[in-house]
């Protein structure tokens, strides 16, 4: 089954995206774009494929003509370059509401399985502007990826960059006008914001942020995905994303597979001691996402460790479907409700 025949699929999104199918078959609502290599393929071929995705596929799928652009008249945007723990330069993209007092802050980590994409891509530039226009101070991290144009830098390079960005953002709260600081990310960024919290606990740095809001987090790791150990991996197989691609990204992130049991690489493997004392979390998942149940399982693990944690399920949507909803007539409320949920969470801290 594909989303074309899934009765729970949001119908407005389905009809809008049908004409986008490549060869009438492949796309968000059709079959996943076939991934030509498996996780056991030579690494150089896997890197070539992520290069191809970034250079040719994504720029033609996500375009300004197809995107509802945020109104930027009420926000200010700039960049800062900081030096990371490893001595590398890290670019931070900052968007703030004009003329406001202290506002909730988001340290945002973009999606792309920690392997590709950029916080300066159109989708994330626009998302940052939407968030700032809602009243957030947003600091987006251009962390090192495991592959693509910002790679190859396997784990823990990208996470280390995010921790450097956290230290800088916390130290500059007053200058940035941040009241409460939330770690926020989607998909691979949902992994990183969750892993940042775990690493901060290890390093005695929990005071640097106030909460975590993870969207469709990519956190279970190859052991769980290979075994299809969660219901949604079977129920939603073939919906938008090819799980073989996720196994490839996991190999690029951890080429020797030495970190399969490290919760800073794959937060779902965390034990209660890894989670004890973490600040409040919100885990948002998509109903028709193969990754849905790993996010829900992580929420339960957090609760079991005594962490204040809640989850929400975005009905009728595939992986990271909120971003597509922002551009689909009739689906905008789904995107707007997610922004409202992030704000409500930040204001509750």
Q: Return the HEC string of 262-327.
A: CCCCCHHHCCHHHHCCCCCEEEEEECCCCCHHHHHHHHHHHHHCCCCEEEEEECCCCCCHHHHHCC
pLDDT at 34: 78
pLDDT at 272: 98
Report phi then psi at 222, rounded to 5.
-65, -30
pLDDT at 171: 98
**Average model confidence (pLDDT) for the chain?**
95
Distances (CA, A) of 349 to 61, 69, 193, 208, 212: 37, 30, 17, 14, 10
pLDDT at 99: 85
- Predicted TM-score (pTM) of this structure: 0.97
pLDDT at 294: 98
Tens digit of each residue's pLDDT (9 = 90 or more) over 96-147: 999 878 999 999 999 999 999 999 999 999 999 999 999 999 999 999 999 9
Residue 278 has pLDDT above 80, yes or no: yes
Tens digit of each residue's pLDDT (9 = 90 or more) over 155-168: 999 999 999 999 99
pLDDT band at 24 (very low <50, low <70, confident <90, very high): confident
What is the C-alpha separation between 186 and 338, in angstroms, rounded? 12
pLDDT band at 242 (very low <50, low <70, confident <90, very high): confident
Tens digit of each residue's pLDDT (9 = 90 or more) over 48-70: 999 999 999 899 888 999 899 99
Angle at 322 between CA 318 and CA 328, to 5 degrees: 95
Q: Kindly state the percentage of the chain with pLDDT values over 90.
A: 90
Question: What's the mean pLDDT in 149-157?
Answer: 98
Residue 76 has pLDDT above 90, yes or no: yes
Tens digit of each residue's pLDDT (9 = 90 or more) over 310-329: 999 999 999 999 999 998 99
What is the C-alpha separation between 339 and 68, in angstroms, rounded? 15
Residue 198 has pLDDT above 70, yes or no: yes
Sign of the four-CA dihedral 290, 211, 173, 208: negative
Question: What's the mean pLDDT in 83-96?
Answer: 98
pLDDT band at 185 (very low <50, low <70, confident <90, very high): very high
pLDDT at 23: 62
- Rounded to the nearest 10 degrees, the angle between the axes of helix 43-52 and helix 243-253 is 120
pLDDT band at 189 (very low <50, low <70, confident <90, very high): very high
CB 105 within 8 A of CB 137: yes
pLDDT at 315: 98
Residue positions counted in the chain: 349
Question: What's the mean pLDDT in 241-268?
Answer: 95
- Rounded to the nearest 10 degrees, the angle between the axes of helix 188-202 and helix 157-171 is 70
**137: nearest Cα among 168, 167, 180:** 180
With b for 16 or more beta-carbon neighbours within 10 A and e for fewer, the 177-196 pattern comes to: ebebbbbbbbbbbbbbbbbb
Residue 37 has pLDDT above 70, yes or no: yes
Q: Give the H/E segment covering residue 81.
A: strand 75-83
Distances (CA, A) of 80 to 34, 140, 279, 292: 38, 10, 27, 35
pLDDT at 121: 97
């Amino acid at each position: 089954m594909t989303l074309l025949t899934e009765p729970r699929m949001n119908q407005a999104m389905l009809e809008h995206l049908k004409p986008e199918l490549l060869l009438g078959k492949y796309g968000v609502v059709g079959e996943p774009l076939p991934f030509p290599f498996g996780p056991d393929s030579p690494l150089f071929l896997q890197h070539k494929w992520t290069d191809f995705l970034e250079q040719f596929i994504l720029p033609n799928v996500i375009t300004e003509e197809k995107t509802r652009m945020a109104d930027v008249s009420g926000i200010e945007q700039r960049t800062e370059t900081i030096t990371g723990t490893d001595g590398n330069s890290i670019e931070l993209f900052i968007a703030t509401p004009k003329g406001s007092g202290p506002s909730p802050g988001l340290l945002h980590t973009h999606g792309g399985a920690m392997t590709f994409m950029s916080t300066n891509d159109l989708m994330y530039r626009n998302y940052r502007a939407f968030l700032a226009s809602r009243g957030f101070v947003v600091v987006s991290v251009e962390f090192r990826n495991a592959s693509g144009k910002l790679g190859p830098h396997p784990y823990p390079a990208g996470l280390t960059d995010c921790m450097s960005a956290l230290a800088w953002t916390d130290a500059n709260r007053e200058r940035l006008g941040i009241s409460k600081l939330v770690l926020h990310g989607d998909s691979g960024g949902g992994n990183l914001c969750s892993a940042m919290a775990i690493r901060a606990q290890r390093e005695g740095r929990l005071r640097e942020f106030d909460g975590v809001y993870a969207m469709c987090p990519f956190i279970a790791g190859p052991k769980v995905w290979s075994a299809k150990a969660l219901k949604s991996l079977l129920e939603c197989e073939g919906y938008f994303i090819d799980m073989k691609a996720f196994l490839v990204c996991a190999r690029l992130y951890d080429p020797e597979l030495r970190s399969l049991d490290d919760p800073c690489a794959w937060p779902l493997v965390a034990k209660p001691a890894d989670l004890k004392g973490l600040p409040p979390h919100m885990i948002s998942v998509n109903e028709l996402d193969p990754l849905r149940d790993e996010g829900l399982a992580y929420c339960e693990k957090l609760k079991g460790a005594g962490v204040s944690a809640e989850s929400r399920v975005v009905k009728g949507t595939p992986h990271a479907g909120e971003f597509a909803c922002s551009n689909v007539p009739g689906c905008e409320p789904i995107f707007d409700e997610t922004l409202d949920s992030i704000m409500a969470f930040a204001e509750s801290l």
